Amino acid sequence: MTLIPFTPDRADDVARLEAECFGANAWSRTAVLASAAREDFVLFLAVDDDGRTLGYINGFFVCSELDICNLAVGTEDRRRGVGSFLLRGLLSWAKEQEIGRVTLDVRTSNAAAKSLYEKAGFVPCGTRRSFYAHPTEDAALYEITLPAGK
């Protein structure tokens, strides 16, 4: 498994995984490409040895902070460490960029993702009422402070 930066030829893969993982809230191919063109957006993919896209992680950053937006792994490739691999890769990139704090929000019912984030060292830092739509649900907020230095 390899971590690679997004390139436009992978937009269909990301849009397919968006639809598979986020249903009514999925980003379209156009939205993926528009976000990827922004200078404050980062998007990494995990690909297997045949070049197949297994999952992706993305986020927006400003100054020394990064907010993770989406982490997704195809249903057939879950529970094999792909999500953790993507998260480790993004945190490693963030450290290189001298980003000191990473935040994220996740549906309160999403036990799988919360467990993954907590194992990576994220700590709960609040909730946001009715933050999500389709269906309406609270968000659990998490943060991690990255140590300074290489």
Ligand X SMILES: CC(C)(COP(=O)(O)OP(=O)(O)OC[C@H]1O[C@@H](n2cnc3c(N)ncnc32)[C@H](O)[C@@H]1OP(=O)(O)O)[C@@H](O)C(=O)NCCC(=O)NCCS
Instruction: Provide the pairing of β-strand 123-132 with 137-145.
Output: antiparallel
The C-alpha atoms of residue 114 and residue 142 are separated, in whole angstroms, by: 9
The residue ranges that bind ligand X (CB under 6 A) are 21, 70-73, 78-84, 106, 110-113, 115-116, 119
* Of 35 and 70, CB closest to ligand X: 70
- To ligand X, the closest distance from the beta carbon of 8 in angstroms equals 22
* Of 136 and 148, CB closest to ligand X: 136
* Of 84 and 108, CB closest to ligand X: 84
* Of 112 and 123, CB closest to ligand X: 112
Both tokens of 34, joined, read 């528009």
Q: Which residue of this chain has its Cβ atom nearest to ligand X in the complex?
A: 83
Position 74, amino acid: G
Strand arrangement of the beta sheet that strand 123-132 belongs to: 2-5, 41-47, 53-62, 65-73, 101-107, 137-145, 123-132
The C-alpha atoms of residue 26 and residue 15 are separated, in whole angstroms, by: 8
The C-alpha atoms of residue 1 and residue 73 are separated, in whole angstroms, by: 13
- To ligand X, the closest distance from the beta carbon of 142 in angstroms equals 11
- To ligand X, the closest distance from the beta carbon of 150 in angstroms equals 26
- To ligand X, the closest distance from the beta carbon of 80 in angstroms equals 5
